[in-house]
Amino acid sequence: MTILDETGEIELFLFTLKDVTEHKRDEELIKHQATFDALTNLPNRFLALDRLSQLINEAHRDTKRVAILFLDLDDFKKINDTLGHDIGDKLLIEVAVRLRSDLRNGDTVGRLGGDEFIILLGGLDDAADASPIAENLLNHFKDAFIIENRELILTSSVGIAVYPDDGDNSSQLLRNADSAMYHSKKLGRNTYSYFTEAMNQEVSRRLTLEEQMHGALERGEFRLCYQPQVNVTNRRISGVEALLRWNNPVLGDVSPDEFISIAEQTGQIVPIGQFVLTEALTMAVRWQAMLERSFTMAVNLSPRQFRDPNLVAFIEQAIEKSGISSENLELEITEGVLISGYDYIEDALASLSDLGVNIAMDDFGTGYSSLSYLRSYPFNVLKIDRSFINDITVHPADRELVNAAIAMAHSLGLKVVAEGVETEEQLAHLATQGCELAQGYLFSKPGTAEEITTMIEKQ
């Protein structure tokens, strides 16, 4: 379309004009999309790191410092899993608003992706100047988020890296802030930490563990050890607890306290747990036949295994295949499994209990030690943690606690296993309280299948 002026001259071609604006708008839109996060409208990773480079240049010129705060929401996955992604998205938007409202003009908040945010504080004189800001951020999370009439309480973990102390380029600083954030998670979350060199070693150890664990099951690097559980009154073996061992060509022996949590986080605990169960049941059948009396195989289950929708069916089939009777299998879970409060855990425990499998509460005394859990879930066995057993002959307070736990378990119809029994005195005291079973170095350290077979032959 052409527009002519009063004199009949062509004033302009309208379509050209229109074309130009649209083109420009598109260009801006594309630029915006490339640099801002679509959900929260915060600078995205690309733009945030670009700003970080600018801040580094300025700080270099003015001999100032820059703090990089890496913020990760605690348990955000749980919110997504239980309340749905819609609520999760809305929550992320609110978090972005709150983070932005906390900062001075000129500071940058960006979203790195998922539930990870970055906050950049430029022109600082001192690394410590970032502390009050980090504290503020954490405090600001104390008020509940209201999403669709639901009150959600959320905490976050923060890691801080400082230019030039912890790095001279944006990617190194970001990596170090991430390591510090990971450290905050390990400290129990809802806290902040400054980066230290030691954290890098921690992170690189973790990466090596993850790397080596990949394919370790297929390479046959896992095997089981078994620790006898004995009858307190006659010291006869009543069963064993299966304990996982990992020997890797690069790392050597790795303690389960170190590798189980990684296997949980990567999800590999699911196939590893299936291996444990299958292997343990095979041995249980053998030992049961040798003993010619009832024999219990206790197997540890971690919270992550309950997220496997196949868990109950797998256990049911494994029991069937092995030919053992289900009451000879005991599954040990910790309170951590129950605290999350997911329905599917309750359902799984009820189904397992219906199968006739025994359920033991492991490490009692270390967590909340909630009585109500013992009452509301189908437990058959209480295992008192070795930290309490350790001190029963030394500290009267621990002795009283253990006595009370045994009495309480009995009143709920549960059997009691004392873990970590190391001395005759401890055993004698447990006997006076009617504790049924004991496990610990006094009788035997965890042994290989061959060692246990020899032990059983002698009985």
Q: Which residues contact ligand C2E by CB under 6 A?
A: 227, 243-244, 255-257, 260, 273, 276, 300-302, 332, 362-363, 386, 419-420, 422, 439-441, 446
Q: Which residues is 230 bridged to in the sheet?
A: 237, 438
Instruction: Report in angstroms how near the CB of residue 335 gets to Mg ion at its nearest.
Output: 11
192 contacts 160 by C-beta, under 8 angstroms: yes
Choose one: 3-11, 303-311, 331-339, 373-381; the region binding Mg ion (CB under 5 A): 331-339
Q: Which is nearer to ligand C2E, 156 or 227 (CB)?
A: 227
3-state secondary structure of 129: helix
Pairing relation of β-strands 145-147 and 150-152? Answer: antiparallel
Examine residue 166 and tell whether it contacts Mg ion (CB under 5 A).
no
Among the listed ranges 177-185, 262-270, 314-322, 414-422, the one in contact with Mg ion (CB under 5 A) is 414-422
Nearer to Mg ion, 118 or 384 (CB): 384
Query: Which position among 300, 328, 390, 426 is part of the footprint of Mg ion (CB under 5 A)?
Result: 300
Q: What is the smallest separation between the CB atom of 383 and ligand C2E, expressed in angstroms?
A: 7
- Ramachandran bin of 301, using left for φ above 0, alpha for ψ from -120 to 50, beta for the remaining angles: beta
> Closest approach of Cβ 278 to ligand C2E, in Å?
12
Among 37, 264, 308, 332, indicate the residue that binds Mg ion (CB under 5 A): 332
Please tell me whether residue 362 binds Mg ion under the rule CB under 5 A. yes
List, as one string, the DSSP characters of 411-440.
Answer: HTT-EEEE-S--SHHHHHHHHHTT--EE-S
Q: Which does 255 bind (CB under 5 to 8 A by kind): ligand C2E, Mg ion, none?
A: ligand C2E
**H or E segment to which residue 406 belongs:** helix 396-411
Number of H helices, E strands in the chain: 17, 18
**Binding of Mg ion by 335 (CB under 5 A):** no
Measured from the CB atom, is 50 or 398 closer to Mg ion? 398
Q: Which does 440 bind (CB under 5 to 8 A by kind): Mg ion, ligand C2E, none?
A: ligand C2E
Cβ distance 415 to 435 under 8 Å?
A: no
User: Which is nearer to ligand C2E, 368 or 441 (by Cβ)?
Assistant: 441
Element (H, E) at 280: helix 269-291
Given the complex with ligand C2E, which of 159 and 440 has the nearer CB atom?
440
We find the least distance from the C-beta atom of residue 390 to ligand C2E, in angstroms, to be 8
The end-to-end CA distance of the chain, in Å, is 102
Q: Considering the complex, what minimum distance in angstroms separates the CB of residue 407 from ligand C2E?
A: 22
Under the binding rule (CB under 5 A), the answer on residue 37 touching Mg ion is no
The nearer residue to ligand C2E, 162 or 338, going by C-beta atoms, is 338
Q: Does 363 bind Mg ion (CB under 5 A)?
A: yes
Residue nearest to ligand C2E (CB): 440
Rounded to whole angstroms, what are the CA distances from 86 to 113, 288, 434? 16, 52, 53
Q: Given the complex with ligand C2E, which of 41 and 423 has the nearer CB atom?
A: 423
Q: CB nearer to ligand C2E: give 34 or 428.
A: 428
CB 294 within 8 A of CB 288: yes
Separation of alpha carbons 437 and 456, rounded Å: 17
Asked if 434 and 406 touch (Cβ cutoff 8 Å), the reply is yes
- Judged by beta carbon distances under 5 to 8 A according to partner kind, the member of ligand C2E, Mg ion, none in contact with residue 386 is ligand C2E
Q: For residue 244, count CB atoms less than 10 angstroms from its CB and return exposed for 0-12, middle for 13-18, buried for 19 or more.
A: buried
Smaller CB distance to Mg ion: residue 76 or 226? 226
Beta 108-113 vs 65-73: how paired, if at all? unpaired
Q: Which of 437, 431, 446, 443 has the alpha carbon at shortest distance from 393?
A: 431
| Listed ranges 140-148, 186-194, 280-288, 363-371: which one lies at the site for Mg ion (CB under 5 A) | 363-371
We find the least distance from the C-beta atom of residue 275 to ligand C2E, in angstroms, to be: 9
**Alpha helix positions (H), 292-370:** 311-322, 335-339, 343-355
Tell me which residues touch Mg ion (CB under 5 A). Answer: 300, 332, 362-363, 419
